[in-house]
Amino acid sequence: MSGDPSLEDLIGIQLCVGLSGLEPTSEEIQSLKRTRARSLVVFDRNFESPQQFLELQKKLKEVLNRELVLMVDHEGGRVIRFKNGVTRFPSAREQAALGFAAITQQGMVEAQELKTLGVRVNLAPCVDVVVDGSDPIIGDRSYGSDPEEVSGLGAARIHGLQGHGIAACAKHFPGLGCVPKDPHRVLPTIETSWEEMEEIHLAPFQKAIEEKVAMVMSSHVCYPGLGEPGNLPATFSRHLIHGLLRERFHFNGLILTDDLEMGALRQLGSMGELAIRATEAGHDLLLICSDLDAACQAAEKLRIAYQNGRLSVEDLRVTATRFEQTLGLH
């Protein structure tokens, strides 16, 4: 990372936050200044038209004196945040029937359109292998139930996006396709064994890593069948995040959490403690997508944890370098 950034600036790189509407409020601007957050996760509440959206970015850059990295869930189907100005592709399930070339072409078109809108990261594809009887939260967001097909189609999408300048994100590690309940609401448990995970759910992530995917997003789900405590989501598992994803799979890109405000984590501690535990597990980036007060709390608790040695400042510097290199920042 260029220069000698302060601890607060380094922590800001970890934080991916959201705004409440089409314009930032004065309170939100102050919170963005306070957290020094470097990334903004965009939702439909922030978008009215391409012109409005570009004006929003211009205003934020002027008041913050820095450019924010814009990220968006732009999967297709029921998960599209932009009302206009983009091609509205069908769901992954529908697109899968068109084959690899069509999926690569989709990624190319998305990359061109998202760049025009100032977006740098597409939080897609969803490479979960869906299983009959699972909660519909994944459903048609998945390319299907065949691990080999999901792996190939996910890789094609990543190739289309990243080959044309947009960072892709494979989600939700180590696999959400057989989740019995929606983690937006409660903390689910997946009882799948290591053998089944290896055979079905991990393969698409391994393929995405071979394709040099820029990011991998973890899941707020407990996996006791993988030797984890029954109440420990992957979000806080150093064994799964650092051990499996970083060390065994040799993933060198950015690891990010799903939204830390989701219902799955609501009973597991304050936002500050959630942020610290997710960092301890090995995440680079922490998504706090709605509540900027919560993001401020996370920033302050992280600062204390780095100062008292609970978290490693050297690891944070590695995250900062990885952030700049992965996203091509200078």
Q: What is the DSSP letter of 264?
A: G
The residues pairing with 120 across neighbouring beta strands, listed in sequence order, are: none
CA angle, corner 46, sides to 11 and 235, nearest 5? 40
Percent helix, percent strand, percent coil in the chain, to nearest 5: 45, 10, 40
The phi-psi region of residue 17 (left if phi > 0; otherwise alpha if psi is between -120 and 50; otherwise beta) is beta
DSSP of 49-98: -HHHHHHHHHHHHHHHSSPPEEEE---BTTB---SSSS-----HHHHHTT
**From 164, 184, 239, 242, the catalytic residue:** 184
- 258 belongs to the catalytic site: yes
Q: Which residue out of 73, 140, 258, 259 is catalytically annotated?
A: 258
Q: Compute φ and ψ for 252, nearest 5 degrees.
A: -105, 0
Told to judge if 184 belongs to the known catalytic residues of this protein, a careful annotator would answer yes
Nearest one of 285, 224, 297 to 259, comparing CA atoms: 285
Decide: 173 and 217 in contact? Cβ < 8 Å. Answer: yes
Which H or E element spans position 172?
A: strand 167-173
Residues with active-site annotation:
184, 258
